[in-house]
Amino acid sequence: MTPLAPGATIGVLGGGQLARMLALAGARLGLKTHVYSPVADDPAFDVCAAQTRADFLDEAALAAFADKVDVVTYEFENVPARTAEVLEAHCPVRPNPRVLALTQDRLIEKQFVRGLGLSTAEFADVRDAQTLAAAVEALGRPSILKTRRFGYDGKGQARIADNGDLALTFAGLGGAACILESYVPFIKEISVVAARSATGEFRAYDVCENVHEHHILATTMAPAAVSPATATAAVEAARRIAGAADYVGVIAVEMFVVRREETEELVINEIAPRVHNSGHWTLDGAETSQFEQHMRAVAGWPLGSTRRHGVSVRMRNLIGHDADHWLQLLAEDGACLHLYGKSETRDGRKMGHVTRIER
């Protein structure tokens, strides 16, 4: 694909805050965004040049959408395979939908990562209470049972503790196909947010360090306090993953840092084939935001500089009623406030974030 010209239209599947920030970044560069989402009041509808409100399985709507845009991208990894297939018959889809198959299924994802010679937690395929019992026998306790598909923010997970009833735990996840993962005694969680262009150019932001609260990302700090060797290895792992998937766009790879005697080792936890919450700091804290970077990549454009501003950058999510303190945050010099324009504040819902740069 030759580079799209300014004025081209990027179709985005999904209309949440990630789509919204993609649309805002694209607009800065003269790109139009067409948002496709089934959710009538999704926040990205407020900032896009065109919109389709339809189900992801509405094939007529998908075809009409794909005919009106120059390339399609997505803000979430759970795009149904059939949706991607219908779209691809009409226009390019970036990142390529093969990566969806990889990242929608924790088992296939772990096998892919292992196949690249990278570390993951130990894992076992779990289809029923019997295979779960065998898996727990092999991986030990504590360990974590996860549905293979559709998990996010701690949903679709259960901890296998010393005394839990395995059949009950399995049933608690709805009887879905699962994966058991060994417990990883990590010292910190980091992520690499990076981009790969249509010509194979790869650029990573500083490795960042993430703290979760109640299974939801609470803060990200860039750069991560890890050794230079660990930072290099983390970026190389992301580069290998993106290359192997022939990836185009922004990708995020979450990793655990594990201390083994004197050295740090990396365990790949999860791949997100999209812009990522742990890259929100780049909006204010890097020369090119992850959103602009993604739009550049899917438009077939060169990637922008990933240099960080300042000494360090800290991003804090505003979850639920955290966002009620907007006036106080507006009055704080140097606090960069982002609110997502969601019509309703709910506990556990990401309403915005605030970035602070230490200069």
* Residue among 110 and 353 whose Cβ is closer to its own copies: 353
One-letter identity of residue 64: A
Stretch that binds its own copies, among 119-127, 132-140, 256-264, 330-338 (CB under 8 A): 330-338
Q: In which residue are the tokens 């088992």 written?
A: 107
Stretch that binds its own copies, among 141-149, 212-220, 230-238, 338-346 (CB under 8 A): 338-346
56: its two tokens: 């992801």
336: its two tokens: 């960069």
47 binds its own copies (CB under 8 A): yes
Q: Which of 54, 64, 177, 336 binds its own copies (CB under 8 A)?
A: 336
State which of positions 247-276 bind its own copies (CB under 8 A): none
341 binds its own copies (CB under 8 A): yes
3 binds its own copies (CB under 8 A): yes
Burial zone of 177 (CB within 10 Å; 0-12 exposed, 13-18 middle, 19+ buried): middle
* Residue among 178 and 351 whose Cβ is closer to its own copies: 351
Q: Which of 32, 106, 274, 294 binds its own copies (CB under 8 A)?
A: 32
339 binds its own copies (CB under 8 A): yes
Whether a cis peptide bond, with omega within 30° of 0, leads into 92 is: no
Contacts of 5 (CB under 8 A, 6+ apart): none
Find the shortest distance in angstroms from Cβ 263 to its own copies: 34
12 φ, ψ to 5°? -125, 125
Question: How many whole angstroms separate alpha carbon 311 and alpha carbon 357?
Answer: 7
304 binds its own copies (CB under 8 A): yes
Q: What is the DSSP string of 277-308?
A: GGGTTHHHHBSS-HHHHHHHHHTTPPPPP-PB
Find the shortest distance in angstroms from Cβ 281 to its own copies: 14
314 binds its own copies (CB under 8 A): no
In this structure, the number of other CB atoms found within 10 A of the CB of residue 98 comes to: 12
Question: How many whole angstroms separate alpha carbon 304 and alpha carbon 204?
Answer: 10
Contacts of 142 (CB under 8 A, 6+ apart): 159, 160, 161, 162, 183
307 binds its own copies (CB under 8 A): yes
* Residue among 224 and 337 whose Cβ is closer to its own copies: 337
Find the shortest distance in angstroms from Cβ 21 to its own copies: 9
* Residue among 186 and 326 whose Cβ is closer to its own copies: 326
278 φ, ψ to 5°? -75, 0
305 binds its own copies (CB under 8 A): yes
302 binds its own copies (CB under 8 A): yes
Q: Which of 82, 134, 330, 346 binds its own copies (CB under 8 A)?
A: 330
182 φ, ψ to 5°? -65, 155
Question: How many whole angstroms separate alpha carbon 291 and alpha carbon 288?
Answer: 8
Q: Which of 15, 20, 121, 308 binds its own copies (CB under 8 A)?
A: 20
* Residue among 146 and 353 whose Cβ is closer to its own copies: 353
Q: Which of 309, 314, 320, 349 binds its own copies (CB under 8 A)?
A: 309
Q: Which of 76, 183, 186, 326 binds its own copies (CB under 8 A)?
A: 326
- Closest CA relative to residue 148, chosen from 169, 119, 120, 127: 127
* Residue among 172 and 302 whose Cβ is closer to its own copies: 302
337 binds its own copies (CB under 8 A): yes
Question: How many whole angstroms separate alpha carbon 92 and alpha carbon 289?
Answer: 23
Contact 339, 317 (CB under 8 A): no
- Closest CA relative to residue 220, chosen from 208, 231, 230: 208
287 binds its own copies (CB under 8 A): yes
Residues that bind its own copies (CB under 8 A): 3, 6-7, 20, 23-24, 27-32, 45-49, 287, 296, 301-302, 304-305, 307, 309, 323, 326-327, 330-331, 333-334, 336-341, 343, 352
